[in-house]
Structures are given as structure tokens and as C-alpha cells.
Amino acid sequence: MVVFVAAAPSLRSQVERCLVKAGFDEVHCAESTAEAIHWLQIDDLFGSQAADIVLLDEQLPGAPCLDLCRRIKATDRFLDTPIIIMGAGMNPDGLAAFFEVGAEDYAPVAKLDADLPFRVRTSLLRAERTQLRRAGLRKRAEELALARRLQRSVLAPPITSPSLAVEAAFIPSDGLSGDMYYWCQIDEDRYGILLIDVMGHGLAASLVSMALRSLMHGLITRVTDPAEVMRELNGHMILFQPNYLTALYVVIDTRRQTMEWANAGHPPGLLHEGPGPVGMLERTSVPLGLTADLKVEKRTRSYSQPARLLLYTDGLAEDPGQSVKVGIEHLKSCLQLYQKQDNGAFIAVTLLERRKILAAPDDICLIAVTLPVTEPFDFSSL
């Protein structure tokens, strides 16, 4: 549907003849600004009248043509509708004013018969491409929203038991994240907790993390040794080169009050036990996916007092212009200051302390594990 608004009968006849001759059969003409506003239902909140393109005579009486152009473009239905101004001649400032409010082209009246069909076809083609691009962007946005929901749906739920409590915060920087965590109870006394950080963020990193997430339950329950878990993950990660990831896997035995871990290039886990200093679960290998021949160590430590373990990705420890070590020291102080808070409160206050509650330049994930102390384990019973 081509809609044109022209006051002079001679111009209306010329435009209609030109459009029909060029093959545009659906043409509607309005003689004034008021008629155009009424027919296009500009002031009707529930209006449904459509137009593929609008042609406006710059010499419209009454309300100026510029105002009509502005009001049409302010109506959502006509946001992508091209507007061509027809006139006998306009200075650059006048043209600029029309283009600023949404007009797309200017057609001199003296050349309408030769130029107008071409200008209309060109504008319609651009509008069609814009609509296709918007449709593609909407489809992509819907797919990304679905991917975000799927990624969050596979995150492990909190655990609360007399011997262990686990909770996490997950903050993607770009809607989707390369961070992924999983934990589960391996047997009556042991729990496995795995945190990975695929380098990069957004869709590509999230696809890798989701692929690895599908392996985690079987891997943790079948292969409990942290070093072996890292080797198996590395074998899968080699398939995604040149991508690579850092990872930290901890097995906590709540009966023996020990933890075994392997750290593949990941920021150190932080363990605060009682009133003492904060210990670290340091790196025991290079990141995964860099080499097929991965050399990785497993390390062990015990805890004899109520403790909290903090695992996190580097987005939590990084600050612009600061060394990551500064961020880690700040996290240590958070562990000491807020040791009496439960996991949820500790996570919330730590994010506030680190000023990471709002959008950050990198994905953020942190896991808080509270470890009460039970009766000392009697090794002579083995």
C-alpha cells in the first residue's frame, strides 16, 4: 500500500498516474494533514492501518509537513515505513530537518515521472531488508533467551546437610557464560565439587561449558580421584581446541574431614578454618585443552575446625588496573570478616564488597561451602 498526501489536485493526479503506470495498484491519496492522520489512525492507540511507504508534499497547508512526518515516525506501526518528501526544491537545512525526524528520501516534483517509481522501489527494498534484519535479530534474541534458561536450568541446586552446605552465585557478563559448576554427593561421606571457566564469554564459551556439563555427573561419580577427573576432562577439552579452560575439582570427605583437589590453572580456592589464616588450594597443573599429555597432581589437606571454602572464577578477583593478587587478598579478608554468615549472606556481601553485583566485564561464579566439624574420625576403626 502506497499512501501519498498532496494538497494540489494537479500533484495528486501526477503522483497517482505515475504510481499506477509503474505497477503500484494499491494507492491511497489524502488531501490534507488532518485527513492523513485520520486515515493512518495516528492518534488511535488501537489503530491497525498499515502502509508500505508514505509520500508527503512539502507544501501541505495547515500543520506543516515536517510535523506530519514526525508524528508518523513516532507511531510504532510506521517505525520502519519509508517516507519520501516531494517538493519543488529545498535548501540543505530543510532537508536535514526532514531526515532528522525520519524521512528517507527527497523527490523533486520536476522529475517525478522519471524518478518517483525508482525511489519508491528502492525505499521498499531497503525497508524489506530492515524488516528481515529485525526479524533475524528477534529470532536470535529468542534463541539466546532460551539458551540462557537452559544454562541456568542445569546448574546444581544448593545442598544443606548436617555435614556440609553448598551454595553459589552465577553472573554471566553477556547473558551466557563460559563458567559452569556442578556438585553432587558421591557416597555417604564424600561430595565432589567441580568449577570450570572456559576462556572467553558469550555463546561460544557457553556451548563448550554446556557440552562438558553433560559429562559431569557421570565423571564425578565414576572417577572420584581429582587428578583422574582432570585428565578425563582434558581429553574432552582437546576436541574443542583452540578453546581451553581452567578448572578446580575438590572432593570433600566429611567423615575424615579432609579435602582432595586438583587445580588446572584456576584461581586458588580459599579455605578459612576457625580464627586462623586463610589457606589456598593452589594450582597443580596447566589449564585443560592445551596439551594432550597433561601432568596433574592431586593434593590433600584436612580441617579440624568449622571452615568455609570459597571457589570462584577470575571475574570475581579481577579489578581494572589491579593485579589479581589484590582481588584474592580482598576475598581472603571477606572470608575472615563474614565467617559467621550463612552461605547465602556471605555470597551477597562478598559480591557487594567486590562491587560485582552489577554487570561486570567478565563472567562471575563463586561457590561457598560451609563445613561444620563432627566428632574426630577414629582411624583405628578401619
Query: Can you give the pLDDT at residue 159?
Result: 95
Query: Can you give the pLDDT at residue 382?
Result: 44
Q: Cα(85)–Cα(75) distance, rounded to whole angstroms?
A: 18
**Domain assignment of residue 203, given as a range:** 154-381
Cα separations (Å) of 253 from 220, 242, 261, 353, 373? 14, 36, 11, 31, 11
**The three cell numbers locating residue 261:** 583437589
Residues 368 and 274 in one domain: yes
Mean pLDDT over 155-160 rounds to 94
Mean pLDDT over 91-100 rounds to 86
Residue at a domain's end among 122, 144, 166: 144
Residues 115 and 232 in one domain: no
Is residue 289 in a domain? yes
Residues 209 and 358 in one domain: yes
366: domain CATH number is 3.60.40.10
9: domain CATH number is 3.40.50.2300
In this structure, of 87-101, 125-139, 299-313, 349-363, the range with the lowest mean pLDDT score is 349-363
pLDDT at 337 over 80: yes
Q: What is the pTM of this model?
A: 0.70
Query: Can you give the pLDDT at residue 379?
Result: 44
**208-223 pLDDT, tens digit each:** 999 999 999 999 999 9
3-state secondary structure of 35: helix
Q: Cα(301)–Cα(256) distance, rounded to whole angstroms?
A: 11
Is residue 99 in a domain? yes
Residue at a domain's end among 91, 119, 144: 144
pLDDT at 361 over 80: no
Kind plus residue range of the DSSP H or E element containing 299: strand 299-302
Could you report how far apart the first and last alpha carbons of the chain are, in Å? 87
Query: Can you give the pLDDT at residue 273?
Result: 93
Cα separations (Å) of 285 from 127, 266, 279, 298, 324? 55, 9, 18, 9, 19
**What rounded mean pLDDT belongs to the chain?**
89
Residues 87 and 21 in one domain: yes
**Confidence band, pLDDT 50/70/90 cuts, at residue 160:** very high
Residues 218 and 89 in one domain: no
**Confidence band, pLDDT 50/70/90 cuts, at residue 356:** low
Query: Can you give the pLDDT at residue 336?
Result: 94
Residues 236 and 95 in one domain: no
Query: Can you give the pLDDT at residue 218?
Result: 92
Residues 91 and 233 in one domain: no
The more confidently predicted of residues 160 and 174 is 160
Q: What does R_g of the chain's alpha carbons equal in angstroms? A: 33
Is residue 286 in a domain? yes
Is residue 244 in a domain? yes
Residues 179 and 67 in one domain: no
Query: Can you give the pLDDT at residue 267?
Result: 96
In this structure, of 162-176, 258-272, 279-293, 329-343, the range with the lowest mean pLDDT score is 162-176
134: Cβ contacts below 8 Å, ≥ 6 apart: 80
Backbone angles phi, psi at 181, to 5 degrees: -135, 155
Residues 131 and 169 in one domain: no
Q: What is the DSSP letter of 111?
A: G
Residues 215 and 101 in one domain: no
User: What is the biggest distance separating any 2 CA atoms in the chain, rounded to whole angstroms?
Assistant: 109
Where would I find the beta strands (DSSP E) of 186-281? 190-198, 245-253, 258-264, 269-273, 278-281
Residues 200 and 112 in one domain: no
**4-16 pLDDT, tens digit each:** 888 888 898 998 8
**20-45 pLDDT, tens digit each:** 888 888 899 998 888 999 999 998 88
**Do 377 and 256 contact (CB within 8 A), yes or no?**
yes
**162-215 pLDDT, tens digit each:** 999 999 999 887 778 889 999 999 999 999 999 999 997 778 888 899 999 999
**Confidence band, pLDDT 50/70/90 cuts, at residue 306:** very high
Query: Can you give the pLDDT at residue 359?
Result: 45
Residue at a domain's end among 144, 177, 196: 144
Could you give the angle at which helices 65-73 and 33-40 cross, rounded to 10 degrees? 10
Domain count, the chain: 2
pLDDT over 90 percentage in the chain = 54
Residues 314 and 332 in one domain: yes
DSSP string, 254-278: TTTTEEEEEEEBPPPEEEEETTSPE
- CA neighbor of 297 nearest in space, from 266, 268, 265, 262: 262
Burial of 100 (0-12, 13-18, 19+ CB in 10 A): exposed
**Confidence band, pLDDT 50/70/90 cuts, at residue 94:** confident
Is residue 149 in a domain? no
